[in-house]
A and B are shown apart, each in its own frame.
Chain A
Amino acid sequence: MSGSNTHIKKSKLKQEQLHDTFISLIKENERIIYKICNLYADTQANRGDLYQEIIVQAWKGYPKFRGDAKFSTWLYQVALNTAISGFAKEKKSPLVHSIDGYLPDVIYDNAGNEEAETVATLYAAINQLNDIEKALVMLYLDGRSYEEMEKIMGTSNGALRVKMTRIKDKLKTIAKNN
């Protein structure tokens, strides 16, 4: 009886440790989730839903995280898989810098109007890319190496470089048109 109590206590302690480590790792890397939510969800409400979904999925998958890759790499994978191929509710049309000047309502608490507009324009430009291109451009702008991008995307280094060149050309065209 006391053996089973010790076992329960140990597993409870292990669960608490797992929980605390997870929370602190998420807090350290939460910017990754914010950025993915801003890129893949169009409204404040949808961003909240996506954020929650990513956290739920990450928590579910965390016991399987073996630590052979960086936590941030693993979190990029989980968050992108949830945002891109998760069974989401019907997506609205992608956010683009449309004729009526509609811009994504990214939260920019610490910014002035002009800066906020610039950030929204940046997101609007990236949002004209497809889902996979958006992921690549985000990883590139986040300063991830091609080796890490390869691990996250599962695409070869060479193919990634070709894709990035195409994306840069696309973004240049978008910037010119705007």
Chain B
Amino acid sequence: MKEMWNRADQITTAGYNVTELIYRDSKSPLAAIEKNLKTALFIFPFVVVLFAGQFLSNSHQSPTRMLLFAILFIEFLFSLLNYGLVKKMQQPGGNIRENLLTRVSLLQKLCGMYVYVQLGLYALMAVLLEISMYFQWDSNFNGWAKINPGIRIGVYIVFLVVQLLIKKASQKKLYGRYLDQLNNLALQLE
């Protein structure tokens, strides 16, 4: 078999131009995700400029607007974190076991954190909404404040559950097959 292998080694050729190839972009789906996250990061500075302009023209900002800005800022930080993780996940160095286990751990971190941080943000939004209604900071919420608190909490819970299901499904669609593939490889290494 070794003889056949050596013979195969001698007769196989490819003829690619390495000098030209090194300047091409990675075609891997992780690279595509990294690109999308990077694009999303550029949007936030425009939001900052927009809010700064509004803040300068009117120093009395409504709590709703402040809340929205805070959520956008946390989303931005989260995208930044995700971007860092996806970039780290593409590191090709290290031995096979180490690289594989790092990828699995980063991916699990990314999937778990994404879902629960997003849910945490929505829950925080609901709590701040309730506080804002209690202190009557914003007249826009007067209609919603008149509704029975039990129904309001029920709506929040349904919203959070639906979000959890949607986020989990989208994460599974995006990374599920890859995570399964990596776990399968980790089993092969045992």
Contact = CB atoms under 8 A, between A and B. Distances in A.
Contacts of A49: 27
A122 B96 contact: no
B92 A119 contact: no
Nearest to B30: A87
A142 B24 CA distance: 29
Report the interface size class on chain B. 35 or more
B100 interface: yes
Contact of A109 (B8, B11, B18, B26): B11
A78 B93 contact: yes
B1 A122 contact: yes
Among A47, A52, A80, A88, max chain B CB count under 10 A is at A52
A53 B26 contact: yes
B178 interface: yes
A89 interface: yes
B21 A52 contact: yes
B28 interface: yes
A94 to B, nearest CB: 13
Among A87, A108, A130, A155, max chain B CB count under 10 A is at A87
A51 B5 contact: no
Interface in B1-31: 1-2, 4-5, 7-14, 16, 18-19, 21-22, 24-30
Contacts of A141: 1-2, 5
Contact of A153 (B28, B90, B96): B96
A23 B92 contact: no
B39 interface: no
Contacts of A61: 91-93
A151 B97 CA distance: 10
A116 B26 CA distance: 32
Report the interface size class on chain A. 35 or more
B12 A106 contact: yes
B76 to A, nearest CB: 25
Contacts, number: 149
Nearest to A153: B96
Nearest to A57: B92
Given A52-B27, A57-B92, A123 B8 contact: yes
A130 B30 CA distance: 23
Contacts of B188: 130-133
A95 interface: no
A107 B16 CA distance: 13
Contacts of B91: 61
Contacts of A34: 12-14
B169 to A, nearest CB: 19
Given A85-B185, A141-B2, A51 B98 contact: no
Interface in B69-111: 90-100, 103
Given A35-B9, A85-B103, A52 B92 contact: no
B28 A48 contact: no
A81 B94 contact: yes
A63 B22 CA distance: 13
> Would you list the 8 A-B pairs with minimal beta carbon distance, nearest first?
A154-B97, A154-B95, A57-B92, A132-B188, A141-B5, A87-B30, A59-B22, A119-B8
